[in-house]
Amino acid sequence: MEEEAKNNKYFFRKDKRKSPKKEEEGLGVFFIEVLKIAIISLAIIIPVRYFLIQPFVVKGSSMEPSFSSGDYLIIDEISYRFSEPERGDVIVFKYPRNPSQYYIKRIIALPGEKIQIKNGEIIIYNNEFPGGIEIDEKYIPEDINTPGEVDTVVSEGEFFVLGDNRTASSDSRVWGELNKENIIGKAWIRGWPLDDFGKVDYPEYDL
């Protein structure tokens, strides 16, 4: 009787084991669930990555001291679909002379405005200030002037952009105005370096 009980116990345990077929079915369900998660993740990530935001790494010193080479930025690609770029916005765009290259600069003059650069000063003429007003750029060190001679009216649909590091920037002083169609988006968040992590701040002007 004792031997028979042992045998019954053995068969009971054996019956509890999963068959190879059930194990294969379990693995199949697992992989299907993983595939579902991957598809859903891609469905979310791809539109965000290509239509809403995208990363950008600053190269060069043209935007110092505001942004340094190696800074990792998240670019907001959607805002300009609902509103116009504003003065002071730091934008990433396709370089007009070589669209395969991406530049980062700051918008200084808007469509329809007259901009004059002379003796290191930037003067803006518009409907509010027909006699002109000098821009107060607090993000530029006081001992830094803007070299070059400019006296032009910005065309409709275009913007006059400058790098913050005025002595080391190829910008609208060199290659002219920037068409809005070339703009990718606006600097939104600085992700690196960690000490500067956070939303990008923008200046307020008196014009």
* Residues with a known catalytic role: 62, 105
Q: How many CB atoms lie within 10 A of CB 189?
A: 15
Range of the domain at 7: 2-50
The Cα-based distances of 170 to 45, 62, 79, 145, 196 in angstroms read: 34, 8, 26, 15, 25
Q: Are 67 and 182 in contact (CB under 8 A)?
A: no
How many structural domains compose the chain? Answer: 2
Instruction: Tell me, yes or no, whether 99 and 188 share the same domain.
Output: yes
- Looking at the chain, which runs of residues are DSSP E strands? 53-57, 72-76, 90-95, 98-109, 114-118, 121-125, 133-134, 150-153, 158-162, 178-179, 183-192, 198-199
Instruction: Tell me, yes or no, whether 23 and 82 share the same domain.
Output: no
Which candidate, 194, 132, 200, places its Cα nearest to that of 164? Answer: 200
pLDDT in single tens digits along all 207 residues of the chain: 444 444 444 444 444 555 655 555 666 666 676 666 655 444 444 444 454 567 899 999 999 999 999 999 999 999 998 999 999 999 999 999 999 999 999 999 999 999 999 999 999 999 999 999 999 999 998 888 899 999 999 999 999 999 999 999 999 999 999 999 999 999 999 999 989 999 999 998 988
In a domain, 206, yes or no: no
Instruction: Tell me, yes or no, whether 81 and 168 share the same domain.
Output: yes
